[in-house]
A and B are shown apart, each in its own frame.
Chain A
């Protein structure tokens, strides 16, 4: 990080290091008589540094113990990867203080709130498992019948997990759940080409309470009817 921002000052930096090293050679490590008023010349604009020789600097400071200079990076240099030009989106200036109440709403898929409302039902899984339990199979049989009478419909199966796993492993687990559901539908006679799948792991949960009821709601294959 610092290298990046320092690059702009590299010329300055090189000079500084050079100055510092020369001065260090010439001055042994003694207890510094660097008193403020009598010590360093105050408030010398750093730009002028480039125009002076190390020797001049040393004498001007009136100190046997002149020191090197270096600059810390400014966070203003941090880039922003937005769609629009920085500024248009509040460019990286999120007030990182209080979220306004429903900060996570954008991350939740409303249960059954997609196009499949009431038509295709979620299939639920056991903890850590991607094998379909019995009740999930009944759900999928229902979904297969719906697909049978809507032969034009194409669906995407979303695999989800509760939060009790780790994020990356849950992505893989969510995909296995989506595939389990897909394979079952295919075994029921649904054309594979009508089905796509995606895993959201634990990233798009229905609820966030620490209860088995909530965990179960999140361990699901969710069905979305795709627009034609």
Chain B
């Protein structure tokens, strides 16, 4: 584990196209190699009777941009720009911002339009003095945060070329109602809603490739079976109900197959099926337990947990079950792999010397292994990637009960997303 930690310290592990141009910076020991884009949000404009809505929206936008880790939000007062009018920033303000190193200037106004609210959103590249975003984001009264999320994702996309995660959702299990049911919340932990009422035990919800469906395991009929929830029409469908355990689903990246595990053959084996719950195909043939499959983003490989070597470890096989090889070699207990949507890392739950569960990640090619969460008398488990391949949600009982947190792959910026006294577990981050 110590090795992992030093590896982590010694390398920058920022990923993807955004960081490519900052690659030179993080070849050193810095974990914060990526230079954030200095961005200034001018005070949101709107009628005085809307002050609460304005504050809510501006706070959400600022929080989104800071959480993206791609921007450094600069206070307008720090460079002497005052902006108390409903006018767009003038060229003088633009020059001033540019001279102070601010690359992006953001400005918006919020007003009502009948029953709708409109967040008229603009962004400027100060260097060029050009407007680069201009859009009316429309929503209902309760949608201020959603409108801010949309604006944030547009800013992320324009200035980095990457998809933002502010509009994504997290599905998870909570026992708030007294039973374990499936919930969905916003990526920042807001707007949690229960979507099932099985009054039984619900487990391991997983998004379909397009975020329109969720598969999960429920004991609602007595046996742990796999069900499909279609979010577009509110219909539930039973997909797998073999005798024994039917659990741990994973959707292929194009949605044509669902991998899962079942113990119908006497021990846990991995199968795939089509989304209708037919055409079951067995992939593993082993007296040990094989479970928790996770597709690679290319759809060509599947990572999974197997205890064929004694204790549970992470293995990788081709999508047809061939070419099985072991990925993890550090520690005696490595489970619940989840393949990054960028393809390069596989995060999983590892167990440290104190027998505590922690988050770890290995490069998919096995060339590097890192520990993500720190040591301590608590358990971290069930990692799931955001679409950016950098942020993860996971369950931790570090605060007593099980709660859902998010963390950056490099182990920084941990944020607690849920805070009810109930147990909130098994998060899965939506793919869009």
Contact = CB atoms under 8 A, between A and B. Distances in A.
Given A45-B114, A71-B139, A171 B247 contact: yes
A67 B120 contact: yes
A171 B262 CA distance: 11
Among B111, B178, B182, B229, find the residue whose CB has the most chain A CB atoms closer than 10 A: B178
B120 A40 contact: yes
B223 A29 contact: no
Contact of B150 (A42, A70, A204): A70
B142 A75 contact: yes
A32 B131 contact: yes
Interface in B262-282: 263, 267-268
A152 interface: no
B234 A169 contact: no
A67 B134 contact: yes
Contact of B201 (A20, A29, A204): A204
B136 A68 contact: yes
Given A32-B131, A106-B178, A163-B379, A78 B335 contact: no
A29 B336 contact: no
A82 interface: yes
Nearest to A156: B222
A79 to B, nearest CB: 3
Among B89, B197, B349, find the residue whose CB has the most chain A CB atoms closer than 10 A: B197
Given A168-B247, A172-B289, A70 B138 contact: yes
A22 interface: no
Contacts of A44: 113
A92 B180 contact: no
B296 interface: no
B136 A3 contact: no
A25 interface: no
A72 B197 contact: no
Contacts of A78: 184, 193, 195, 231
Given A29-B130, A103-B175, A105-B178, A168 B422 contact: no
A1 B185 CA distance: 12
Interface in B187-218: 191-197, 201, 203-204, 210-212
Contacts of A94: 176-177, 183, 192-194
A113 interface: no
Contact of A96 (B176, B247, B381): B176
B226 to A, nearest CB: 12
Interface stretch (A116-124, A136-144, A195-203): A195-203
A159 to B, nearest CB: 10
Contact of B178 (A67, A107, A200): A107
A165 B91 CA distance: 60
A69 B291 CA distance: 46
Contact of A35 (B86, B210, B233, B234): B86
A8 to B, nearest CB: 11
B167 to A, nearest CB: 6
B114 A43 contact: yes
A45 B113 contact: yes
A200 B201 contact: yes
A169 B335 contact: yes
A35 B177 contact: no
B150 A169 contact: no
Given A1-B211, A78-B231, A168-B292, A31 B426 contact: no
B132 to A, nearest CB: 7
Contacts of B305: 168-169
A2 B167 contact: yes
Interface string A87-105: 0010011101111001111
B234 A80 contact: yes
A52 interface: no
Contacts of B146: 72-75
B426 to A, nearest CB: 6
A36 B175 CA distance: 48
B181 to A, nearest CB: 8
B406 interface: no
Contacts of B425: 167
Contact of A1 (B142, B169, B311): B169
B349 A166 contact: yes
B35 interface: no
A92 B192 CA distance: 9
Contact of B195 (A29, A92, A106, A163): A92
A37 B86 contact: yes
B244 interface: yes
A228 interface: no
Contacts of A96: 174, 176, 183, 192-194, 420
Contacts of B349: 166
B130 A31 contact: yes
Contacts of B191: 75
Nearest to A159: B245
Interface string B97-123: 000000000000101111010001010
Interface of A: 1-4, 7, 20, 29-37, 39-40, 42-46, 65, 67-76, 78-83, 89, 92-94, 96-99, 102-107, 127-128, 163-169, 171-173, 175-176, 198-200, 203-204, 210
Given A31-B129, A78-B184, A166-B381, 11 more contacts: A7-B232, A31-B131, A34-B88, A46-B113, A65-B131, A65-B134, A78-B193, A127-B355, A166-B382, A168-B248, A203-B180
16 contacts: A4-B212, A36-B86, A70-B135, A79-B195, A79-B232, A80-B197, A81-B196, A82-B196, A96-B192, A96-B194, A98-B420, A103-B177, A104-B422, A104-B423, A105-B178, A166-B357
The 6 tightest CB contacts between A and B, nearest first, are: A36-B86, A79-B234, A106-B178, A67-B134, A72-B146, A69-B136
